[in-house]
Amino acid sequence: MPKSFAMIVGWLLVAVGILTFFAAPIKLMPAQAAAHIIAGLLGIWAARSHAVGYALWVGIVGALLGFLNIFSQNFLNLVDLPMWTTIVHFALSAWGFLTYWVLMSRENS
């Protein structure tokens, strides 16, 4: 489960980063696209042996980005996201936290 999570999220983030240069609905600044690609490559790498930590990391970062967009439409001119991306970030965050929680509860059983 954690390896699948890290691999799926990793490839999705790489795809979002690359598609931003070709697809109209995904409009990110080049730095944001690079951040998605780097985070995705980290996920693909983490799928080998660090998937649990990656799931927690995805949960934290997704939640932070979601809350930043709710409380500030343009946080320091760095994050300016439409509402649908906020929902996607919160969903990804929930998936990351759920994956982490399930894995940690299995270890403690």
| Length of the chain, in residues | 109
Half-sphere exposure of 94 (CA within 13 A, CB side): 7
d(CA 58, CA 88): 12
Tokens read off for 74:
């343009």
Amino acid at site 52:
V
Amino acid at site 73:
Q
pTM for the model: 0.81
CB 46 within 8 A of CB 10: yes
> Per-residue pLDDT tens for 75-96?
556 556 677 888 999 999 999 9
> Per-residue pLDDT tens for 2-29?
789 999 999 999 998 898 877 766 667 7
> Which residue matches tokens 């930590």?
53
